[in-house]
């Protein structure tokens, strides 16, 4: 999501300050608790290690240099809740350009367990990917930075401002086996479509899988123009997302869209989709979205739960709104332990979202029951100051934070 000075400091009134500098990583897009460390993420470089109490920056996490000298690290790594394995991707700057795919194990979290490098024809921007129980699924859109434009960044330009949409290149679809990161599919698919976020993916059978994506209706240029100053831009259904599902044939490499929308009728356009973390890589029934209702809303102002198996004509949408001039953020799904000790369902969870009240210029956390969003917040937690609207977050169980403090010798 492009902003002024992205990946190179703006350096006001200092024309030559960025001359010859490599692009820097804002580390401002998402966070991850991994290996008992809190990591700040953005796909402009390696993660930054933060102190979970003070949020002071400790340093870069290079995973003992297994990432590579100039390799990025995704803001959307994928964690398998069952196996504990973590996967991530990252563009590597250099000729030839590469897309690296990383596998991490819970038993050795500080090193890269496996790495696969895919050659790229152009420097591209990739924010997200998907994972099934057996596969890694990567869609690379034709949002590229030509070599002649890349040279401008050496003279102080912001890298993100040099990207352009190349329709004729199509989307590149790559599917890897999770077991050894070997290539199953590497195909060009046309026409291309623009997206930032995947929703989920799951294996259908031995020869196919399903991929869910949050796709923009508007051109990538229109979306990027809005993101360049997102708080002053006019947003609409075209510059927000709708849900699309595709079937990937693992034998032929074909990517075929499911007929009709799989989202229930009346679903609002959205961004920042989420699902129950235990269903990442499994067939999910529910998707939670940061949505705009009604569609004329200037920003996303609610949280919706979409039932993908709702019969036609039935009510498949549950929605939480937060009042006039209040704008919700990403819906984080916090699994809840069942009192009866039974198996966890997709709706055995709380939803946490950070809400900005634009009239009071304050923010609060809203905690909702995933099974009944319309009932409104179970709790509102007022924050001492406002929080900038949008971007991603994460959660950790209490005991994780307590263990981190104890390991550091703090109280």
Torsion of CA 73, 183, 197, 304, to 10 degrees: -130
Which residues face 31 on adjacent strands? 40
Which residues face 118 on adjacent strands? 99
Q: Give the span between the Cα atoms of 349 and 406, in whole angstroms.
A: 28
Q: Give the span between the Cα atoms of 68 and 50, in whole angstroms.
A: 21
**50: which residues sit within 8 A by CB, 6+ positions away?**
31, 38, 39, 40, 56, 57, 58
Angle at 182 between CA 177 and CA 183, to 5 degrees: 90
Q: Tokens in use for 383?
A: 């924050």
Q: Give the span between the Cα atoms of 286 and 299, in whole angstroms.
A: 23
**313: which residues sit within 8 A by CB, 6+ positions away?**
265
**283: which residues sit within 8 A by CB, 6+ positions away?**
202, 210
Q: Tokens in use for 285?
A: 């029934």
Q: Is 276 annotated as a binding residue?
A: no
Q: Count other C-beta atoms under 10 Å from residue 258's C-beta.
A: 13
Q: Specify whether the CB–CB gap between 373 and 303 falls below 8 A.
A: yes
Is it true that the peptide bond before 254 is cis, omega within 30 degrees of 0? no
User: Quick one: which H or E segment has residue 398?
Assistant: helix 398-408
Q: Give the span between the Cα atoms of 220 and 214, in whole angstroms.
A: 13
Q: Give the span between the Cα atoms of 56 and 32, in whole angstroms.
A: 15
Q: Tokens in use for 152?
A: 């401008």
Q: Specify whether the CB–CB gap between 93 and 142 falls below 8 A.
A: no
Q: Is 386 annotated as a binding residue?
A: no
Q: What is the gyration radius of the CA atoms in the chain, in angstroms? A: 21
**330: which residues sit within 8 A by CB, 6+ positions away?**
272, 274, 290, 353, 354, 390, 391, 392, 393
Q: Give the span between the Cα atoms of 173 and 171, in whole angstroms.
A: 6
* Residue numbering of the annotated binding site: 76, 127, 197, 392
* Residue numbering of the annotated binding site for Fe cation: 76, 127, 197, 392
């Amino acid at each position: 999501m492009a902003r002024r000075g992205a990946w190179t400091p703006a350096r006001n009134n200092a024309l030559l300050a960025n001359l010859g500098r490599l692009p820097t990583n804002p580390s401002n897009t998402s966070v991850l608790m991994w290996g008992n460390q809190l990591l700040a993420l953005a796909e402009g470089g390696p993660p930054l290690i933060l102190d979970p109490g003070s949020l002071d920056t400790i340093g870069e996490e290079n995973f003992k240099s297994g990432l590579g000298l100039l390799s990025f690290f995704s803001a959307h790594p994928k964690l398998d809740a069952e196996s504990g394995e973590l996967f991530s991707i990252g563009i590597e700057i250099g000729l030839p350009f590469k897309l690296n795919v990383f596998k991490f194990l819970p038993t050795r979290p500080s090193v890269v367990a496996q790495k696969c490098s895919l050659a790229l024809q152009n420097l591209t921007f990739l924010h997200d990917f998907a994972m099934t129980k057996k596969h890694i699924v990567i869609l690379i859109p034709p949002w590229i930075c030509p070599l002649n434009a890349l040279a401008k960044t050496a003279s102080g330009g912001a890298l993100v401002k040099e990207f352009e949409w190349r329709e004729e290149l199509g989307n590149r679809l790559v599917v890897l086996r999770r077991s050894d990161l070997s290539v199953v599919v590497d195909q060009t698919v046309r026409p291309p479509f623009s997206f930032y976020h995947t929703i989920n993916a799951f294996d259908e059978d031995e020869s196919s899988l399903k991929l869910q994506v949050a796709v923009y209706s508007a051109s990538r240029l229109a979306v990027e123009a809005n993101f360049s100053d997102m708080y002053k831009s006019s947003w609409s259904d075209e510059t927000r997302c709708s849900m699309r599902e595709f079937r990937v044939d693992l034998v032929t490499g074909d990517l075929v869209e499911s007929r009709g929308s799989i989202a229930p009728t009346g679903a609002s356009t959205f961004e920042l989709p989420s699902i129950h973390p235990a269903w990442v890589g499994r067939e999910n029934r529910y998707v939670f979205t940061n949505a705009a209702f009604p569609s004329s809303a200037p920003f996303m102002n609610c949280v919706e739960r979409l039932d993908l198996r709702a019969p036609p004509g039935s009510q498949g949408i549950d929605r939480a709104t937060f009042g006039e001039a209040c704008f919700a953020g990403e819906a984080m799904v916090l699994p809840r332990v069942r009192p009866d000790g039974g198996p966890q369902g997709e709706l055995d969870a709380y939803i946490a979202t950070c809400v900005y009240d634009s009239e009071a210029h304050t923010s609060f956390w809203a905690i909702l029951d995933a099974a009944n969003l319309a009932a409104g917040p179970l709790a509102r937690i007022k924050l001492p100051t406002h929080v900038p609207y949008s971007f991603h977050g994460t959660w950790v169980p209490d005991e994780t934070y307590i263990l981190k403090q104890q390991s550091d010798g703090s109280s």
